[in-house]
Structure 1
């Protein structure tokens, strides 16, 4: 299907997309209600994680099926394929670079697809909570000298 907008209109529309989505807001409200305190979209951290708890070295990314090329739901646009192939391939490469950065730094990193929340919202939020709790236990174990390894 041909794009119904001119290139100028498309550019203007795309430039107005913001870092937060309604889904991310629902997720962060659910986590806040469970008692977790965190920062959203921390720009000084690599990759601008959607949720960050620096005290426990936890970063959580909620990846869109389109922009991060979900193996189940990601689809490649039919028009302007050269641009989109390059754009989406670079997004996937950047995700791998970000993951490596946090793993090398001893952080707990969790990536969830948007469809995981659409299929089972409470279950996905519970998995994030489990990751945070595990990171807390590790932080407390480090205080007493216990060597424990865990990654979300």
Structure 2
């Protein structure tokens, strides 16, 4: 498990490229925040987490391992609890939290992130500006 990437996974990189191509600028793995969000828009106070289907128990793709089931049950339960705790900490500090699953279309996810960014920054959304 030590070899598992903590940051800059392929789904994160694809989403970051899409956001950057739209002119959105952000911080990556902001260490000073609860849970170290993968993508942070500091002025908009928007924190984005790109969650892996296995590690965060995707309702569509997660399958519990057959071997060492007790270990995995406990470990993954802790991950989900930790996710909720960091979300609550960020929300109570005035942040908007968004979770994107690794299997989601990065363009669709970027559309939602851009829309939330615009709303929180007070930037008007004009028809045809946000990609669909």
TM-score bracket for the superposition, by shorter chain length? 0.7 to 0.9
2:53·2:62 contact (CA, 8 Å) conserved in 1? yes
Partner of 2:104, secondary structure, is: helix
**Structure 2 CA distance for aligned equivalents of residues 74 and 134 of structure 1:** 33
TM-score by length of 2: 0.87
* Structure 1 portions without partners, runs of 5+: 1-13, 139-152
Q: Are residues 1:133 and 2:118 paired?
A: yes
Instruction: Using the TM superposition, give the Cα deviation of residue 126 of structure 1 relative to its aligned residue in structure 2, in angstroms.
Output: 0.6
2:2 to 12, 15, 36: 15
Partner of 1:122, secondary structure, is: helix
4+ residue runs of structure 1 moved beyond 4 angstroms? none
Structure of greater Rg: 1
Deviations 1:47-100 (A, max 9, x none): 010100112211001111100001111111111111100100000000110111
* Structure 2 portions without partners, runs of 5+: 124-132
Q: Are residues 1:35 and 2:33 paired?
A: no
**Structure 1 CA distance for aligned equivalents of residues 119 and 49 of structure 2:** 17
Backbone CA RMSD of aligned residues: 1.3
- The structure with higher relative contact order (CA 8 Å, sep 6+) is 2
2:88 to 90, 100, 103: 100
**Structure 2 CA distance for aligned equivalents of residues 31 and 72 of structure 1:** 25
Q: Which residue in 2 is equivalent to 1:5? A: none
**Structure 2 CA distance for aligned equivalents of residues 100 and 17 of structure 1:** 26
**Structure 1 CA distance for aligned equivalents of residues 46 and 107 of structure 2:** 20
Greater fraction helix:
1
1:76 to 46, 64, 84: 64
TM-score by length of 1: 0.76
Instruction: Using the TM superposition, give the Cα deviation of residue 22 of structure 1 relative to its aligned residue in structure 2, in angstroms.
Output: 1.3
Instruction: Using the TM superposition, give the Cα deviation of residue 34 of structure 1 relative to its aligned residue in structure 2, in angstroms.
Output: 0.4
Q: Which residue in 1 is equivalent to 2:98? A: 110
Partner of 2:99, secondary structure, is: strand
